[in-house]
Structure 1
Amino acid sequence: MENTKLPMVETQMMIRKPVAIVFEAFIDPAVTTKFWFTKSSGKLEPGRTVTWGWEMYNVASDVRVKEIIPNEKISIEWDNTPGTTTTVDFEFTALTTDTTYVVIKNYGFHQTGDELIEAIKDNTGGFTTVLDGLKAWLEFGIELSLVRDKFPNTPQK
């Protein structure tokens, strides 16, 4: 059970596509690589651990799939901050047959003080960027390269 008193990042966006298409965009790396990471060791499946990579930054993250409820929820644990893991829930609500509301919640932060503020700020911005890229890709077929361009002063391949 989620403790709402703990620090949590929450971002959201309406996507003008059916819930099954939006849900699959997070399950299938062939789609997810169009708006988020550049490489994955496989599709998300309950109990499976996959590795997501951002090749331009030479960074990878192990992702353990905790739960999948088709077209409703994906829950993962990942090590996006070295030495710590957090939980990310992707929640999908069909508003109409052609629109989906996506909410991303990230919680379980281990940092305190200024480090916690920085982690919340970074993850809020990161997941907002993911949703912006998702919207552009699914609604308009445009790959905006938002994640690649977020940190242009970072050495890239």
Structure 2
Amino acid sequence: MVVKLNSEVLEELSDFLIQLKLEDFAEFSPVLKTSSIGQHIRHILELYECLLTQYEFGIVCYDDRKRDKMLETDVNQAIAKIKGIQSSIQCPDKEILLKMSAGSDFETIRSSYFRELWYNLEHCIHHQAIIKIACNSLAYISLPASFGVAKSTIDYVKSLESSNN
């Protein structure tokens, strides 16, 4: 289930990027002021990339990101990266050590691949919500109602609607 949900939210991201004009992707958003939509996309994708490239070693450190400028300035690179992530996300669950920076020291905690996939899903949705705000001024963009909304919120709203009928 977690693999399918991640693939779906990444597909929403890809569908969004196909609509987006290059200047609205790469330049600082007038709404966000200090960042671009592309920077948010890069950040999302690089966390997935960390999980997938470090999976085999069993130690994941999200601080070890590439911070690839091409992913935030070239929408086609970002779309290609999404497709690559979607094609390689189907890995068996296993224990993973999560390595985190704590100032000048590092801390490690136990996690699992599926738990980190869930984290990446929620992280992606969180950034989609920020991107959605930036898109309010872009009349040509069409986003699904689920874009930037947690799956638990979608399920909750559906349960309220069905109980009112």
- Pick the TM interval, shorter chain: 0.3 to 0.5
Larger Rg: 2
| Structure-2-length-normalised TM-score | 0.34
- The structure whose residues are more often helix, as a share, is 2
- The structure whose residues are more often strand, as a share, is 1
